Amino acid sequence: MGETMIQRRQHDGERANADPQPDQPDTLHPLLQRNANAYSGDTPIHSAFLVDASRDEGWFTVSDEARGRRYQVKRAASCLLMPNAGDKVLVSGDAAGGLYIIAVLEQRDQGRSALHVDGELTLSADVLSLMGASRVSVAAETFALRARSGAVNTADWTLKTHSYTLASVDLSVASITAKYTGDHRESYYQSVRETTGQSTRYVTGTDTVKAVNLDYAADFITRLSGNTTFINGETLVKADGKQILVG
């Protein structure tokens, strides 16, 4: 008797499981039929893509040919490395917040990189160093450098400019050999003092000196020579010496 009731209950349970319940909707069927690669807009994306092209507005076209996906994305503010066509990038986001390139994983041209930000960029650190194995170049419309003290140590230094202005309260120049070359030079000083071991000057044209008072003094020999020599005194010409030889 007991075995007969147990078998009847098992048979009733199997019939209950086999018979569908019309009032309960089938929620698994749509999920099973859904395309895994379809982007409905609310599905988060965090995957690697290849950059196909870029536009001036800051948009990039990325694709995943293996999965048949292609999106229009923007570069995240934290991604300073500018993506180029052929680069492998990491895309993250959704339709509500947007799709963004958050990192450049691999570069097609690994020998050239560009960091780019929109607007102003400030680098701040206790100690900041810029190192270039072969060259460091700075190009800008306006360049300004401000520091409490500075030093430049280089084997060769070349400065080329259309107009150059140097203003300093105290200026010192030290050099073993100094050369100045130009078509025209003007100097304005309140006072000038020069001390040299030997001075030689050659003027191809006319050397003119105009002064209120002119005083030349030599400890040993003073010589003025020329094919024609004039000494003019509007009021007085005086020659004084223990011996005066003329001719």
Q: Tell me the residue range of the domain where 60 lies.
A: 41-117
**DSSP string spanning 190-243?**
S------S------SS------SS-----SS------SS-----SS------S-
Quote the number of domains for the chain. 1
What does the pLDDT read at residue 75?
92
Where does residue 83 rank: exposed (0-12), middle (13-18), buried (19+ CB within 10 A)?
Answer: buried
Mean of pLDDT values over 230-234: 90
pLDDT digit string (tens) for 170-191? 999 999 999 989 999 999 999 9
Q: What is the dihedral of CA 74, 79, 82, 84, to 10 degrees?
A: -60
What does the pLDDT read at residue 94?
86
Give domain status of residue 64, yes or no.
yes
Report the alpha-carbon distance of residue 10 to residue 16 in Å, rounded: 10
CATH of the domain at 107: 2.40.50.140
Q: How far is CA 134 from the centre of its chain?
A: 15
Give domain status of residue 146, yes or no.
no
Q: What is the DSSP letter of 127?
A: S
pLDDT digit string (tens) for 199-224? 999 999 999 999 999 999 999 999 98
Give domain status of residue 32, yes or no.
no
